[in-house]
Structure 1
Amino acid sequence: MSRKRVCLVSPGHVSCNPRLLKEANALHDAGFHVRVVAGNYSAEARLLDESILPQAPWSWTQVTLGAKPTYLMRRLWQELARRVATTGWIPHLSVAIWAHSSMSAKLAKAAAAESADLYIAHCLAALPAAAFAAQKHHAKLGFDAEDFHIGELTDTPANQTEIRVRDRIERTLLLRCQHLTAASPGIATAYAKRYGVNMEPILNVFPLAEAPATTERQQGDRVGSEPSLYWFSQTIGPGRGLESILHAIGQMQTPVRLHLRGILIPGYSEQLMQLAQEVGVGDRLHFLPPAPPDQMARLAACHDIGLSLELIQPRNRAICLTNKIFVYLLAGLPILMSLTPAQQEFAKQLGEVALLVNINDSAAVAVALDSLLSNPAKLQFVRNQARKLGKGIYNWDLEQQHFVKFVEEVLQ
């Protein structure tokens, strides 16, 4: 019997979507024929792609923005679609698709170029593309919700057009999906309440092979010998709780350094550095370059405490469990977690490994960090506990079994 074929589709770079990479590798190892269709438009991310794709065991297609004239034409179509959507009336699904993303059409063409038994979309712009390919090849359709996409927007007048656009896409296409997964129980619940669909939670955990080889803390690319707080993301920008943590650091008794890893939004480093100087820690803020997904746990292990500073607005941040949490566990780091509904619930599973705080109360955050960092024995204990949780429960070696079984059931 021939191997089943699965195509994963994403508008972003493969290096910016470790969840897609993990799924592609897991399906390949389980005996599926895997193809990845992903975006290619950022110079920084392209360099990281080049460290991943040549070694990939599955086939892949990269979708660029295209020649300038065709790119500008797609942007014109997008602008026209958005103007129609702004009226409050979306006469056809295609209007919503164009209004949301000018990349969906190119992704659809690339995804449909080869047949598959199942097309799984990652990120909302990929859902119409995967749906088009699945319809063309009479295949099954899937969607992986790493975020609650309507919940990424605050419910303000300025966002109503985009909220209508996203709702039209999801309300139409999610009901066509046979495979639906979500990155947290909270996201799965949010989709169930809004659209009446059932999503299988698949946590954003990481392979044991990516864990540090030793429990001893290495210097890595951290700066200085003082205790280090660590945070990473694809991009470093506002609305991520970083300003709040700087205020807390300014009130701490322990001299700590803050290391941030990712691609900086233009102008944001100057804003953050100015704030750091205002609170008296300008010499202790450090920006680190982005790195391949499979290096994240080892790089995190160089630090002392991981930061998961999600906000309660927009709603998506309140209900997500980001990959940061699971990288920190695999790296053996205690986690300072903001008091969101999702993190508050998950902290019950982590015990003393989690420092659950209201990040808007900078004095309380400072006390919590000082209390742990001033007790080396306690810090080592919670580091060991974090590592046990990462290696024993929250890792992709275990979670991928659940994911692969779900795909196999869909394709029966």
Structure 2
Amino acid sequence: MFALVGDVTGSSRALRQLRVLAEAGVPVSVLQTAGPRAPRALPDGATLTVLGVRPGGGPLAFWRAHRAVREAALARPAGLYLASDLYTLPALVAASRRHGARLVYDSRELYTALDSTHGRPYVGAVWGAVERRSIGRADAVLTVGDAIADRLRDRYRIARPTVLYNAPYVAEAGSADRDALRRDLDLPDDGRTIVLYQGLFRDGRGLRALTEAAAAVEGIRLVLIGEGALEAEIRTWSAALGDRLVVHPFVPPDRLAALTPGADLGACLIEPLTESLRLSLPNKLFEYLAAGVPVLASPLPEIRAVVDRGVGVLAAPSDPGAVADALRKALDPDRRARWAAAAPAALAPYTWNEGRRTFRALLDRLLPAT
């Protein structure tokens, strides 16, 4: 059983794991709290149950989701329960104990320091209490990066979690459709450098500085693909910037991967508002590189270790002037070509090519029959 608060079809990480389970011949029951936006993305062998949970955030929303997931999971015996976030972990602890099953916890964030904890320490304390109570019951813990793995090990005195980076599978070099982004978004081929941001529209992603910088630099067209709390504000910016800023709604992961190669530069300007953000290794960073797109990124430790392999330029994410200077450097096509050429080697240690082998080995250990 696989459980997530949200929609697995909107999560590239969840889909990668579900596809490995399908390849292993493991039938999977998926519990989620939102309707699927791309139901065809689910692999064969996965059955989906959408729980009736009122959307929201914070501890109160967690308790509503917990009750719904717990009731559904207790009624569904399984050999393995995979909690794809902290919010489903306590419910799956209960189900795994009732049915004598194995349990995996995927810590996709540093939950004690989420965006929602910024300026609200009591929220982090709640998530810390929930995690401390449940994490030791898991037979295996996964996470997204080495720094967070170390934090979880030290904080809870558990075995170091297995790291599965949020990086895609990289096939043999092929011919990516470099025109799909322009074609799908009806962008004119006018010689402007396309700077792409794909992800959540929310604080901590450098969107204000990026938009101000794009307005100040000639020859830039900024494309934002996603959704989130800043969407209305971003629409206001779009009206002011005209064709310098193009805003497009959420695109499911598989389709987004086909659009990304059409960008000239990918923006990953994470602001260190919380420890989780400071230590993050976002999907988008690796998705750009897998598409052969160099990056404009924050000089945060985990991100910098990737970008310093020669794949882009760093800029202070909340400083429009610094971001503008970085954009001006990226206008040089020869420089971008060098960054793009370095992307495969920089990405290689992080790809799902290795991650899927690690995940499959974990499945083989916990479910020998697979």
TM-score (norm 1): 0.80
SS at match of 1:250: helix
Give the equivalent residue in structure 1 for 2:214. Answer: 249
Question: Partner letter of residue 124 of structure 1?
Answer: L
Query: What displacement does 1:99 show?
Result: 6.9
1:141-193 per-position Cα deviation (integer Å, ceiling 9, x unaligned): 11101100111057667441x22321221111001111101011121122123
The superposition leaves residues 320-358 of structure 1 with CA deviations (integer Å, 9 ceiling, x where unpaired) of 10110111111110011112122123333xx22131221
Bigger radius of gyration among the two: 1
The answer for the alignment partner of 2:246 in structure 1 is: 286
Q: CA deviation at 1:137?
A: 0.5
Cα deviation, residue 260, structure 1: 0.8
Q: Shift of residue 114 of structure 1?
A: 2.6
Distance 1:270 1:33, change over 3 A: closer
Equivalent position to 1:20, from 14, 31, 47: 14
**Alignment correspondent of 1:341:** 301
8 Å Cα contact 2:114-2:274 kept in structure 1: yes
Q: Which letter does structure 1 place at the counterpart of 2:219?
A: P
Give the letter aligned to residue 202 of structure 2.
Answer: G
Q: Which residue of 2 aligns with 1:52?
A: 41
Matched, 1:108 2:95: no
Secondary structure at 1:313 match in 2: coil
1:123 maps to a residue whose letter is D
Q: 1:118–1:139: 8 Å Cα contact kept in structure 2?
A: yes
Matched residues in 2 for 1:137 and 1:100: separation? 23
Q: What's the secondary structure of 1:259's corresponding residue?
A: strand
Tell me how far apart the structure 2 counterparts of residues 378 and 354 of structure 1 sit (CA, whole Å). Answer: 9
Q: Would you say the 8 A contact 1:211–1:298 is kept in 2? A: no
Structure 1 contact 63–110 (Cα < 8 Å) conserved? no
Q: Which residue of 1 aligns with 2:100?
A: 138
Inter-CA distance 51–30: structure 2 relative to 1 (3 Å threshold): closer
Between the aligned partners of 1:30 and 1:124, the Cα distance in structure 2 is: 25
Aligned to 2:360: 404
For 2:213, the aligned partner's letter is A
SS of match in other structure, 1:102: helix
Cα distance between partner residues in 1 of 2:61 and 2:290: 40
The partner residue of 1:193 within 136, 142, 154 is 154
Q: CA contact under 8 A between 1:246 and 1:276: conserved in structure 2?
A: no
For residues 116 and 381 of structure 1, what CA distance do their matches in structure 2 show? Answer: 50
CA distance in 2, matches of 1:388, 1:130: 39
**Which of 232, 245, 248 is equivalent to 2:198?**
232
- Answer yes or no: is 1:332 the counterpart of 2:292: yes
Secondary structure at the counterpart of residue 186 of structure 1: helix
Q: In structure 2, what is the equivalent of residue 369 of structure 1?
A: 327
Contact between 2:208 and 2:318, CA under 8 Å: does it hold in 1? Answer: no
What CA distance in whole angstroms lies between the structure 1 residues aligned with 2:130 and 2:184?
Answer: 43
Matching residue's letter, 1:224: P
In structure 2, the CA distance between the partners of 1:196 and 1:232, relative to structure 1 (3 Å rule), is same
Write the distance in 2 (CA, Å) between the matches of 1:210 and 1:37: 34
Question: What do residues 5-44 of structure 1 show as CA deviations (whole Å, max 9, x unaligned)?
Answer: xx22111111222211101111221333333222225xxx
What is the match of residue 311 of structure 1? 271
Q: Which runs of 5+ in 1 are unaligned?
A: 1-6, 83-95
Q: How many residues align?
A: 363
- Cα RMSD after superposing both structures: 2.8
Structure 1: distance between partners of 2:132 and 2:9? 29
What code does the residue aligned with 2:363 have?
V
- Whichever residue aligns with residue 327 of structure 2, its letter is L
Give the fraction of aligned pairs with identical amino acids, expressed as a percent: 25
